[in-house]
Amino acid sequence: MRRHRNVKIVATLGPASSDYDIIRKLFEAGADVFRLNMSHGTHDEQRARHRLIRQIEADTGRPIAILADLQGPKLRVGAFGDGPHDLVDGAKFRFDLDAAPGSSDRVQLPHPEIFAALEPGAELLVNDGKVRLRVDNYGPDFADCTVTAGGMISDRKGVNVPDVVLPLAALSAKDRADLEFACELGVDWLALSFVQRPEDVIEARELARGRAAILSKIEKPAAVRAFAEILAVSDGIMVARGDLGVELPVHSVPPIQKRLVRACRAAAKPVIVATQMLESMIESPMPTRAEVSDVATAIYEGADAVMLSAESAAGNYPVEAVMTMDSVAQSVESDPTYREVIESSRVAKRQTVADAVVAAAREIAETTDINAICAFTQSGTTVSLIARERPRVPILAMTSVEKVLRRMCLTWGAHCVLVPELHRFKEAVVSAARAARVFGFADETQLIAVMAGVPFNVSGSTNILRVAPCDERLIFRTDPE
């Protein structure tokens, strides 16, 4: 099943997309990666979705990546005794550790870590920033505030503290249990919520023990400030614009998104742009023009993937939402301006032999009649390096390692193919030629570029580039050994 686009689509599963027929329709409509949101649903429900995805993978013969998204340390107020309260501008309000029901002038905030990190003038944001309060005075068990933007406050509403790095554990007890469950289940990617520092990622990586790749969600100002360090220890990044737009001025999010996408591309690590991309399609079969433009912008910027959240998990039109993203992606990538933007933002990286070989493959493909670049990889690194180049021809990502095969489904342009373990370069050339023909990337009269490393089956050894015919008779005639 060949995609006629390079950017990947991530679709979240939920109540609207939990049976075989709907999940298969999402895949056939264009979903490349399925997201399991660990904030919602039981382990049994997530296990059932995982099983259905793997069944669809077997039935269609195409690899599918699964991303488990951990909830992270979610901060919430306590409960109120007499329903919601409308806080008005200028009113005084206290947060404390007292478990007594809240009132019009106070409520429990059961997170002593917040009080320990506060300072005068810090902001507390409630209910996705709809209610804003300024800290006037605080102690180890309270914070007296002034309401600067009034609104309704009610039971268990979320709290954001944008001005300080909170001394919170990167993974809650729930996250640790969910992480182990997801790894044992066999997911391909783990997304970490509310990352603040590189140590958060390192902790999760130690717990995962190589069973899943680690993707860091950038949704806090502290993560933006420490982005270079977080990127260095992550396998991928999600620009999670929901909470980022709450904790930072909303007008600052687009330039941050652009910077982060470019940095990920330069580092040859996949990046997902997420949150509210087609929000209106939760209720409507048609998106707004602004939403279509938002998806298109992420693609023009060079994102590896765009993501659907509630649109596919709980919306009325999950399949239509995927189809819309697919159509937008194909339209953008066929635009000559897209090529101009992508190629003008290419960053030359020639630090290693592999860097040089993949750059040469892209240049050869663009200046000769090469129909595809076929890369053999043990870890996925070679394919990531090729994707960084954003070549004009398709990428066939070939590996004998099943977990690597699935992880590469998140990488820009990668058409992933499972092959037997190979021991000689000629075997790789023949295998690449067959795959190019089978999946419709080339015919027997055309040429492909084949990349691999010698010795074979050793990660990080990419050092060979060959232009080869797709006709196996010519391969054997020119390379009888």
- Helical (H) or strand (E) element with 36: strand 33-37
Task: Report yes or no: 155 and 79 within 8 Å, Cβ to Cβ.
Answer: yes
DSSP one-letter code for 480: -
Please give the Cα distance from 103 to 81 (Å, whole number): 7
- Helical (H) or strand (E) element with 289: helix 289-301
Please give the Cα distance from 203 to 230 (Å, whole number): 12
**Phi, psi dihedral angles at 146 (to 5 degrees):** -115, 130
Please give the Cα distance from 452 to 377 (Å, whole number): 7
Active site (catalytic) residues: 35, 76, 217, 275
**Phi, psi dihedral angles at 63 (to 5 degrees):** -70, 145
Please give the Cα distance from 371 to 432 (Å, whole number): 12
Structure tokens at 439: 């999946």
Centroid of chain to Cα 170: 19
HEC profile of 295-362: HHHHHHHCCCEEEECHHHHCCCCHHHHHHHHHHHHHHHHCCHHHHHHHHHCCCCCCCCHHHHHHHHHH
Please give the Cα distance from 372 to 362 (Å, whole number): 10
